[in-house]
């Protein structure tokens, strides 16, 4: 059984919960994290019973030393954010792709038993759809919306019906971030197999929970909405707000990583990790406002789309249930209550308008 695990990016929002889940199962954990300002705000997180090494995953010497004595790796270190990836291209490709390449270069010299890499639902582009007549469509590419036409259409001009997206759907890479995450997946599978390691990739859907960086305008959408509401501002919702997503609690995601480390049959596989339930972005904003005691603050529907965004995508988690024994336990209302209780004790700098201007100035919002 794996006992010593290196978690790259282990001081981040998801990383801290993964570390806690691994410790609870008796693993020894070492964390490698760059503690970047945008995510950590310049602070150094307290990680009990964990060896924290501060360093950049692109630094081969740092990575090599961090791997010493490890049996497995959970690779979470990454720049995160579809919108920002479209103009911070060098930064995102550098950390996400070169960082992963650096990790595997060192793993060639010092192989471990298993590597579990965090991928993203963004690799799908548009999710799976069904035509009104029942035909399934896995090849939908929505043109950049114009004139308020948000939904992909069939040949008769009728909106396609979104359905849960399984892992067999071919990737359609609509953003730099999606390209990065797919490259991380493929590096994991190709290199791990070649050098006798078990490689697993987890495609995470919209992860939320307490502890997410509220002042980072490129973090998860629920945290962004919470920061706006905390400052008395309306959540900013792109398009018409009816785009549908799958929100999965961070504790369920942490459990999935632990299962992926420990399940022999997971080797060489890629799994969706979501809740299996879809909800519209406008509904998320309204439910969060009500839970925070601000039902009077209605979402600001912009009627504009961001380059790299997709319309609908939510998870088919059948493979993770069957192979990993994954069973999400936190319902959205329960998770929302936890987030609200935590947010009430926080302060947040609302940088959403600043982020929007960055996108608009580059012609990435229309």
Catalytic hit among 177, 182, 218, 326? 177
Structure tokens given for 297: 């603050």
Is residue 77 within 8 Å of 14, Cβ to Cβ? no
Annotated catalytic, 326? no
pLDDT of res. 36: 79
DSSP string, 116-139: EEEEEGGGGSS-EEE-TTS-EES-
Other beta carbons within 10 angstroms of residue 59's beta carbon come to 15
pLDDT of res. 188: 98
Length of the chain: 366
Burial class (CB in 10 A: 0-12, 13-18, 19+), 316: buried
pLDDT of res. 74: 98
Alpha-carbon gap, residue 209 to 129, rounded angstroms: 29
Supply the pTM of this predicted model: 0.92
DSSP string, 165-219: BPTTSPP---SHHHHHHHHHHHHHHHHHHHTT-EEEEEEE-EEE-TT--TT-TTS
Strands 128-130 and 136-137: antiparallel
pLDDT of res. 133: 87
Residue ranges in 28-143 assigned as alpha helix (H): 37-40, 60-67, 82-85, 89-92, 99-109
Residue 130 φ/ψ, nearest 5 degrees? -125, 135
pLDDT of res. 163: 97
**Mean pLDDT per 10-residue segment, the chain (366 residues):** 89 95 96 79 68 96 97 96 89 97 97 98 96 92 66 87 97 94 98 98 95 67 83 88 95 98 98 97 93 90 82 97 97 92 74 55 56
Alpha-carbon gap, residue 11 to 47, rounded angstroms: 8
Alpha-carbon gap, residue 208 to 212, rounded angstroms: 7
Strands 278-280 and 244-249: antiparallel
Select from 234, 254, 358 the least CA-distant residue to 307.
Answer: 358
Give me the residues paired with residue 5 across strands. 29, 72
Residue 177 φ/ψ, nearest 5 degrees? -60, -45
| Tokens 């939908």, located at residue | 140
Buried b / exposed e along 184-206 (16+ C-beta atoms within 10 A): bbbbbbebbeeeebbbbbbbbbb
Sorted by sequence, the CB contacts under 8 Å of residue 91 that are 6+ apart come out as 79
Q: Which domains does the chain have, with CATH numbers?
A: 4-361 (3.40.50.720)
């Amino acid at each position: 059984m794996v006992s010593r695990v290196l978690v790259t990016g282990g001081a981040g929002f998801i990383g801290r919960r993964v570390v806690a889940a691994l410790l609870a199962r008796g693993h020894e954990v070492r964390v490698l994290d760059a503690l970047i300002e945008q995510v950590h705000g310049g602070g150094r997180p307290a990680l009990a019973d964990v060896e924290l090494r501060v360093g950049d995953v692109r630094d081969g010497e740092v990575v090599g030393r961090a791997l010493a004595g490890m049996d497995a790796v959970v690779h979470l270190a990454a720049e995160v954010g579809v919108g920002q990836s479209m103009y911070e291209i060098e930064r995102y490709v550098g950390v996400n792709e070169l960082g992963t390449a650096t990790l595997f270069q060192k793993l060639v010299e010092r192989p471990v038993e298993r590597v579990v890499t965090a991928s993203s639902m963004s690799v799908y582009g548009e999710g799976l759809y069904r035509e009104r007549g029942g035909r399934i469509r896995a090849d939908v590419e929505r043109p950049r919306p114009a004139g308020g036409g948000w939904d992909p259409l069939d040949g008769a001009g009728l909106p396609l019906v979104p359905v849960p997206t399984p892992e067999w759907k071919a990737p359609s890479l609509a953003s730099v971030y999606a390209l990065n995450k797919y490259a991380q997946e493929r590096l994991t599978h190709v290199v791990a197999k070649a050098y006798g390691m078990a490689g697993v990739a987890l495609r995470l859907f919209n992860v939320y929970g307490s502890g997410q960086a509220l002042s980072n305008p490129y973090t998860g959408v629920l945290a962004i909405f919470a920061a706006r509401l905390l400052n008395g501002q309306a959540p900013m919702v792109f398009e018409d707000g009816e785009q549908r997503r799958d929100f999965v609690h961070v504790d369920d995601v942490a459990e999935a990583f632990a299962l992926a480390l420990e399940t022999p049959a997971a080797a060489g596989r890629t799994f969706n990790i979501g809740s299996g339930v879809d909800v519209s972005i406008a509904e998320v904003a309204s439910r969060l406002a009500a839970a925070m005691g601000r039902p009077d603050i209605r979402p600001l529907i912009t009627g504009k789309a961001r380059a790299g965004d997709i319309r609908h995508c939510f998870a088919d988690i059948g493979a993770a249930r069957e192979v990993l024994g994954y069973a999400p336990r936190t319902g959205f209302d329960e998770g929302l209550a936890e987030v609200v209780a935590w947010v009430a004790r926080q302060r947040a700098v609302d940088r959403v308008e600043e982020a929007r201007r960055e996108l608009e100035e580059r012609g990435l919002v229309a």
